[in-house]
Chain A
């Protein structure tokens, strides 16, 4: 079982819609979670991080964390074609050395 799992997609949404990206994790020791956006051929770019249960909003992005369900999500409101990319979910554990484990990513396509 992979430690961080994502649906590889592609997830297609029309321009202006809400895109919902989901991620589950198996390590209950995971404390912090990150969403990165990666355009083809480029390196990952941080979108958001979250470490408390609940929602965290930043502009058009909302990250949601439910530690009881071991579930993390990212909502993108008013999706734009420029949001088309692969979105990587990552989790880290506290205690000992900080190791970040990435999912395989979900490819998002925003259709104009």
Chain B
């Protein structure tokens, strides 16, 4: 399977705990995106990498959120001191350049109790 993969698919955690999600993009794609989606809303942009460089971050990405793509391949998104409002589907997408379409992974569904 050469699509975008995300792990874990589901995560339940208690408020205040840290969580980390992983995204493996399509191998030839140099662009990687993270989105958050809540019920009834479209995906909201969080951050974007071109290769290993994080080129843009949304204002939605508070200081509790950090993302990395250390070798320009897979990426991790960490949320520290989780809050109930962080409960959402976290989506990763990858693409190959300007105007290129983005292909989404299956998402990680986070529930913060």
Contacts and interface: CB of A to CB of B under 8 A. Distances in A.
Interface of A: 4, 8, 31-32, 34, 36, 42-46, 49, 51, 88, 90, 92, 94, 97-105
Interface in B65-101: 89, 91, 95, 98-99, 101
Contacts of B35: 102
A77 to B, nearest CB: 22
Q: How large is the interface on B (under 10, 10 to 19, 20 to 34, 35 or more residues)?
A: 20 to 34
Contacts of A104: 40-42
A99 B89 CA distance: 19
B43 interface: yes
The list of the 7 closest CB pairs from A to B, nearest first, reads A102-B42, A43-B104, A97-B56, A43-B107, A102-B43, A104-B42, A97-B55
B13 to A, nearest CB: 20
B98 A45 contact: no
Contacts of B40: 8, 104
B106 A42 contact: yes
A43 B42 contact: no
A49 B100 CA distance: 9
Determine chain B's interface SS by DSSP, over half rule.
strand
Given A32-B99, A51-B99, A43 B105 contact: yes
A18 B101 CA distance: 26
Contacts of A36: 104
B42 A88 contact: yes
A97 B31 CA distance: 11
A42 B107 CA distance: 8
Contact of B99 (A44, A90, A92, A105): A92
A33 B106 CA distance: 22
Best-buried of A32, A34, A102 by chain B (most CB within 10 Å): A102
B99 A45 contact: no
Best-buried of B42, B44, B50, B102 by chain A (most CB within 10 Å): B42
